[in-house]
Structure 1
């Protein structure tokens, strides 16, 4: 992987982690186009995921600080209830991570047909959510768990995590500003946990990726991720999801075409 390819991959990760178009799907397509083996760039994958975690913390820094302040008052309050809902939402992805990790990883083999099909599913979800009337519901334990189930399903390459969780929340009647915030905060611990597990289980020795590739990919993912996160919040608040559905259909059909004819 060259430095330029690393920057391009970082930009893709930063944009597509937050925009509802599937970061995993786009990275699978990029791996295919650049001829990169998915197993060979574990360090890079961890670096760009860490960058998007930092992007989320940057955008929601004030809210995260408030949550910690409320949590460490050690009594039931609004912040504590919110943290409990975040923890509830993480249960499904934790189950998938512990019991189906190898099966999921087996799907990340540049299977462009699967990626394309899941992008079409993402487009359907975004369309339904975009047509839903704005409502003023809040995050409840039940809603948190259902949104968590949506996040667990979004481990499939091509099924957008942000698109799936935000669409699910909107279809459940959660207020737009609340669902975007919850969608981005609920992924922090799972991504950090996934990176730690990958780090612990990573084989020692072997040829690693270059320092400049890591730096370029990390910086590109952080900068574009921060911009995309802020942009996505505004998009959800305005209910403008339909154009992303159109994009997912176009890329999904192209991905299926590449997978079938190449």
Structure 2
């Protein structure tokens, strides 16, 4: 692998690590990045790479929240105590919330084929950006009814899982849709953000496995290097992105991300329209 290809993979890993967890749509950023950063690989490998690279981001969640998720120890922090029983219950809620996404997974390829284009991505960036601003303004006068993972009911977990389904439309953002849903049903920003991180573990592992199986396991040495490098970069950047997001939302709302999405959507739309007609 050449130095140029090396840096291309690093840049893609950085983009994935940042945008996977912030509610700004990794798809929208990767579509723009793909216009300027073309890896010297097949289209089939590239499609698989952009999904499997998420494993690096997921490992960051596992490392950062290991004590909070590992069922065989007691976790204490931020005024919340999770015993082994609480963690098994939490995992039950995570699995339950993932069921809607599992149910529609057979249609993922169809949705990707029909909706994975710049028009849909740009419109979803803008629409959800506007929703973030509207919902945060509406939320100013409300007090969260769920302020810890232990307080989260099974019904609330399932409702968040239903909102996660909206993310099958490219440009929506998985974290964006679940965060919006969680805020609407009365979950605090910090709790819904953490629960969103946890939902990503089974969802992304499953999606990555399906993509690898579909692609086949006949990788070249260069392809393996690209995958491992991309995941490693995404892992380290994700740790920083997750810590930033949790620290940020303790003092701020999500409106800044809403405005960012609107601007990015206009940029994506403007760039591709201009490219088509110029």
Classify the TM-score, shorter chain.
0.7 to 0.9
Q: 2:120 aligns with which of 97, 104, 114?
A: 114
The answer on 1:19 being equivalent to 2:22 is yes
Q: Are 1:12 and 1:27, in contact at CA under 8 Å, matched by a contact in 2?
A: yes
Map 1:210-229 to 2 at 5 A.
210-229=223-242
Alpha carbons of structure 1 residues 215 and 139: separation in structure 2 relative to 1, 3 Å:
same
The yes-or-no answer on 1:135 pairing with 2:144 is yes
TM-score by length of 1: 0.87
- 1:2 match: secondary structure: helix
Which deviates more from structure 2 when the two are superposed, residues 199-208 or residues 225-234? 199-208
Q: Identify unmatched segments of 5+ residues in structure 2.
A: 75-83
Q: What is the rounded CA distance, in whole Å, between the counterparts of 1:102 and 1:214 in structure 2?
A: 21
Match among 80, 88, 92 for residue 84 of structure 1:
92
Displacement of 1:136 in angstroms is: 3.5
Q: Paired residues, what number?
A: 255
Does structure 2 retain, via aligned residues, the 8 Å contact 1:151–1:161?
yes
Equivalence for 1:57: 62
Pair 211,85 (structure 1): closer, same or farther in 2 beyond 3 Å: closer
Query: C-alpha displacement at 1:216, in angstroms?
Result: 3.3
- CA deviation after TM superposition for structure 1 residue 207, in Å: 6.0
User: 1:193-220: per-residue Cα shift (whole Å, max 9, x none)?
Assistant: 1111222222455767545433432222
Q: Is the 8 A contact 1:47 1:217 kept in 2?
A: no
Structure 2: how far apart are the matches of 1:116 and 1:59? 32
1:191 partnered with 2:184: no
Deviation string 1:3-34 (CA, Å, 9 cap, x unpaired) is 11111110000000011101122112212333
3-state SS, counterpart of residue 273 of structure 2: helix
> What's the TM-score, normalizing by structure 2?
0.82
In structure 2, the CA distance between the partners of 1:126 and 1:171, relative to structure 1 (3 Å rule), is same
* Residue 259 of structure 1 pairs with residue 266 of structure 2: no
Q: 1:68, 1:179 → 2: CA distance?
A: 24
Match of 1:148 among 155, 158, 161: 161
User: Structure 1 pair 248/208, CA: closer, same or farther in 2 (3 Å)?
Assistant: farther
Cα deviation per residue 1:76-95 (whole Å; 9 max; x = unaligned)?
94333322211111011101
Identify if the C-alpha distance between structure 1 residues 211 and 94 changes in structure 2 by more than 3 Å, giving closer, same or farther.
closer
Unaligned 5+ runs, structure 1: 71-75
Specify the alignment match of 2:80 in structure 1: none
- Residue 73 of structure 1 aligns with which residue? none
Counterpart mapping for 1:2-13 below 5 A: 2-13=5-16
Computed over aligned residues only, the root mean square deviation of the Cα atoms, in angstroms, reads 2.5
1:243 matched to 2:256: yes
Does 1:103 find its partner at 2:110? yes
Return the alpha-carbon distance in structure 2 between the equivalents of residues 102 and 215 of structure 1: 25
> For the Cα contact (< 8 Å) 1:7–1:213, is it kept in 2?
no
- Give yes or no for contact 1:43–1:209 (8 Å, CA) kept in 2: no
Separation of aligned partners in 2, 1:153 and 1:68 = 34
Query: Which stretch of structure 1 is more off in the superposition, 234-243 or 174-183?
Result: 234-243
SS at match of 1:100: helix
